[in-house]
Amino acid sequence: MIASRTQVALIVGLLLLLGLGLTLYKTTMLGFPLLPGEYRDVWTIESKISFQPKDEPLTVELELPQGLAGWTIIEEHFASSGFGFSVRDSDGHRKARWTREGLDRPTTLYYKIQTYRAAQASLPDRRPRPVRPPRLEPDQLAAMDRLVAMLRERSAGIETFTELMIQEINRKTLDQDVEFLLGTYQADRVTIMLDILASAGIAAQRVRGIALEDGRRRQTISSLIEVHNGSDWTLYHPETAATGLPPDFFVWERGDEAILTVVGGQGSSLEFALLRNTLPAKTVMAMEHRTREYALVDFSIYALPVEQQGVFKTLLLIPVGALVVVFLRLFVGIPTSGTFMPVLIALAFIETTLLVGLLLFIILVGVGLWIRSWLSRLNLLLVARVSTVVIVVVLLMAVFALGSYKLGLDQALTVTFFPTIILAWTIERMSILWEEDGPHEVLIQGGGSLLVAVLAYLVMTTRVVEHLTFNFPELLISLLAVIILIGRYTGYRLSELYRFRDLAKPK
Amino acid sequence: MIRLISPRELARLGILGMNQRNHGYIGRYNRRQNYQLVDNKLKTKAAALANHIPVPELYGVIEHQFEVRRLDALLAERTSFVMKPVQGSGGKGILVIAGRRGGAFIKTCGTAIGASDLRRHASNTLAGLYSLGGRTDHVMIESLIEFDPQFAQYSYEGVPDVRVIIYKGVPVMAMIRCATHRSGGKANLHQGAVGVGLDMATGRSICAVQQGRIVDVHPDTGARFDDLRIPHWERILDFASRCAEMTGLGYLGADIVFDYHKGPMLLELNARPGLAIQLANQCGLRHRLRAADRIAVEATDRAERVRLAQQRFGVACDA
């Protein structure tokens, strides 16, 4: 017994030291802050270039972003195995070029950056190029002239002209001339807008960038319109006509040149996977300056591809949830239905937010129980019955999502984040419990599970916890030690202090 | 305000907590490979018979879904019987049929159910609804205990059973569990059955507890628990001790019932016996477990262990 005790002590000590030591090293030597201070939203943008190669030498050129409007690029990474690769600077442009003799199957190239907006700067001033009217067919030209005349008549300057034009092109019932132009142009609306501006003699250009959305997988490039009013540039959104740079818009390129050119290939596309990490400002600084110096930074979660980072963001919270469960079961003694079911429910709560999640869970389980009580009359075999409950749960989710969407309640859409199978088993178990031990026991176990889930959720969403798990995954090693230690706890549970309370009185 | 007892007070009383039970006793003295004999009631039955411990008669076993159809034939001549999962836990899935009326089966509580309900119960059991961890299971059907009329007043709609905790072959604590209306005829304390602590020396009642509260009379029958005395007390302790030897488990709960004709019988064994027995006895297990450690060393055979347990764990000694 003593041997086992020393063994445990040794292992626990070692794990604790290892985890804490690594953390200490990262904080003192690499400047990762232990406590979350000021935060920055660091976006990881993974660009995916895909195309079908033709049977000839291949050249892919990508215009690289240059960190405009306060956006700072912390890290750049290219994936180019099997390709000749170079990055060139020429007259204010940076271009990455992949080359290859020939290729026989569709291929994907990757370019990943980490960036954050260091300052809320606007785009630098630059002199507009002389306006050149577009080259058009005669009938297009006539329509264009009429349109420009109409807009001029109703506007009082360059600003109102631009706004009016954007509104006109985005209207539901289009003006005849606009409809004609849209129909005959082989280009997107932004091109038409730029041509209209050019026809009116207004200096304007396109600004390409990415509308950032956390967790978005297949975002495409979007454009803003920049208009020069004689002294300053103003940005316009081509749909809403809102001015200025939208808050989460990463500026990739300013000007009309194409971002991606593929020679020797066809059907090329450029898509982006996006992920936001809210990081302490100091960490960002550390990453900015030391990426190349220390291998350990490269060994952190940030080195992973975007999609995996997103997965790890939640994955790393599970041990914390498990710790909460271990604590509540062994020290407090709260009865739950299914040992780790509350952790999974808590993970769902993170997506749905707490109140909505609680409401959805209670309604789902409630309706599920009701349907299940009806099912028990059908006399089905267990596996079939649980499968039926699974299907019922999925259907309920669909009904929920649809119903709430029609009612305009977007939040209920997050119902899909609940783990279906776990819900089905919870319903099945609760239903049996109801039959065997009565509704009282169902309330106790259901309430216990929800309480544990809520507590786990509260701990998991604490800023410090999110910060520590994601920035210092090595702390998991120490967490492991703590759980091993708790596993050796043989003292009383809080619930037992209540259960045996009457023994205190002398008989 | 919720009233709690201080951990120090609990430790002074020698109350065994769940964590310590799991870690210090079950985890340490019950080896996994020995669980089979306890968790599988058919194996328990066979081993008990081999060790000359009487058990309720086995009427039949259903192992596969297609056999469920033969249930009617199997039960043709039986008016009363008990259906239970072979590997059930916590008293789940036990169906007690006390009689028949026409084609219907009458449960102990008086409710009539049909043959299709019996078949459904069997299917559910086979699918693993009542077994530990949801493993597929078998159904066993055995004789219903005809309980001793002297216990009739202490139990309502169900058979009372004596639970004995045996540690290292030494019986350390015992109680009788009496079914109530609230417990639905089941002898499980958490479902509302009354637990009556028993004097290890004599088998007399010490005190009775329902849902953690002390009671003097049975809530349904009004019988006073003061007068309760278990017959064949030495034999019961001997059975219990014998069970420990037969299973090789260091910490064990044995459930023993009384048949009017055949006397005490082993109903089932439990490798993870609950802690409520301490409430029924108003006494902690830890001091007794420590004393049992010494008895296990001192005593050479079973009779000696039982004798020392009776001597040292009697009410007079605990006070």
Q: Residue A435 pLDDT more than 70?
A: yes
Same domain, B202 and B129: no
Rounded to whole angstroms, how far apart are CA atoms B6 and A504?
9
Q: Answer with the residue of higher pLDDT: B315 or A331.
A: A331
Any idea what the CATH number is for the domain that residue B25 is in? 3.30.470.20
Q: How many domains does chain B have?
A: 2
- Which residues does chain A have within 8 Å of residue B3's beta carbon, measured at their own beta carbons? 498, 501
Give the nearest partner residue to B17 out of A382, A491, A503, using CB atoms.
A491
Same domain, B117 and B84: yes
End of a domain among B142, B167, B182? Answer: B142
Same domain, B200 and B132: no
Give the confidence band of A507 by pLDDT, cuts at 50, 70, 90: very low
Is the Cβ of A3 closer than 8 Å to some Cβ of chain B? no
B1 occurs within a structural domain: no
Same domain, B250 and B173: yes
Please state, as a whole number, how many other Cβ atoms lie within 10 Å of the Cβ of residue A72. 15
Same domain, B212 and B248: yes
Pairwise CB contact (< 8 Å): B15 & A493: no
**Residues B83-109, mean pLDDT to the nearest whole number:** 85
Pairwise CB contact (< 8 Å): B2 & A498: yes
Question: Residue B277's closest chain A neighbor by CA?
Answer: A500
Give the minimum alpha-carbon distance from B7 to chain A in angstroms, rounded to a whole number.
7
Q: Residue A458 pLDDT more than 90?
A: yes
**Residues B50-55, mean pLDDT to the nearest whole number:** 92
At A116-155, the pLDDT tens digits run 777 777 777 777 777 777 777 777 777 788 878 888 788 8
Pairwise CB contact (< 8 Å): B279 & A507: no
Chains A and B form CB pairs within 8 A to the count of 81
- Cα dist from A140 to A136, A195, A203, A454, whole Å: 6, 11, 21, 63
Same domain, B26 and B108: no
The contacts of residue B86 (CB under 8 Å, 6+ apart) are B40, B41, B42, B61, B131, B137, B138, B139, B140
B276 occurs within a structural domain: yes
- Which residues does chain B have within 8 Å of residue A494's beta carbon, measured at their own beta carbons? 4
For chain A, the domains span: 39-124+260-280, 138-208+220-251, 314-472
Q: By C-alpha distance, which of B248, B264, B254 is closest to B52?
A: B264
Same domain, B35 and B170: yes
Give the nearest partner residue to B17 out of A381, A493, A503, using CB atoms.
A493
Q: Are B206 and B182 in contact (CB under 8 A)?
A: no
Computed over every residue of chain B, the mean pLDDT equals: 87
Pairwise CB contact (< 8 Å): A491 & B24: no
Q: By C-alpha distance, which of A108, A460, A94 is closest to A273?
A: A108
CA quadruple A445, A447, A452, A456: dihedral sign: positive
Where do we find the tokens 């002398």? A506
End of a domain among B87, B117, B142? Answer: B142
Pairwise CB contact (< 8 Å): B23 & A490: yes
Rounded to whole angstroms, how far apart are CA atoms A133 and B292?
103
A283-286, long-range: CB < 8 A, 24+ apart: A283/A31, A283/A32, A283/A33, A283/A471, A284/A40, A284/A42, A284/A74, A284/A116, A285/A31, A286/A30, A286/A31, A286/A32
Any idea what the CATH number is for the domain that residue B101 is in? 3.30.1490
At A284-313, the pLDDT tens digits run 666 666 555 555 555 566 666 666 777 787
Please state, as a whole number, how many other Cβ atoms lie within 10 Å of the Cβ of residue B83. 23
Same domain, B17 and B121: no
Give the minimum alpha-carbon distance from B145 to chain A in angstroms, rounded to a whole number.
22
At B121-163, the pLDDT tens digits run 898 888 877 776 667 889 999 998 887 788 888 888 778 889 9
Alpha helix segments (H runs only) across A201-338: 281-290, 295-298, 306-315, 318-327
Same domain, B109 and B254: no
Residues 66-85 of A with CB under 8 A from B: none
Pairwise CB contact (< 8 Å): B15 & A379: no
**Residues B108-125, mean pLDDT to the nearest whole number:** 86
Q: Which domain holds residue B119?
A: 58-142
Same domain, B153 and B286: yes
Interface residue of A377, A421, A444, A503 to substitute, partner B, most B CBs within 10 Å: A503
Rounded to whole angstroms, how far apart are CA atoms A439 and A150?
73
Same domain, B133 and B154: no
Residue B95, amino acid:
L
Same domain, B261 and B133: no
What are the φ and ψ backbone dihedral angles of A137, each rounded to 5 degrees? -70, 155
CATH (residue range A39-124+260-280): 2.60.40.2250
Q: Given this model, what pLDDT does residue B162 score?
A: 92
Q: Given this model, what pLDDT does residue B78 score?
A: 87
Give the nearest partner residue to A497 out of B4, B129, B191, using CB atoms.
B4
The contacts of residue A313 (CB under 8 Å, 6+ apart) are A277, A470
Beta strand segments in A162-248, E: 204-211, 222-228, 233-236
Q: Residue B185 pLDDT more than 80?
A: no
Residue B5, amino acid:
I
B248 occurs within a structural domain: yes
- Which residues does chain B have within 8 Å of residue A492's beta carbon, measured at their own beta carbons? 7, 10-11, 15, 17, 19
End of a domain among B107, B142, B177? Answer: B142
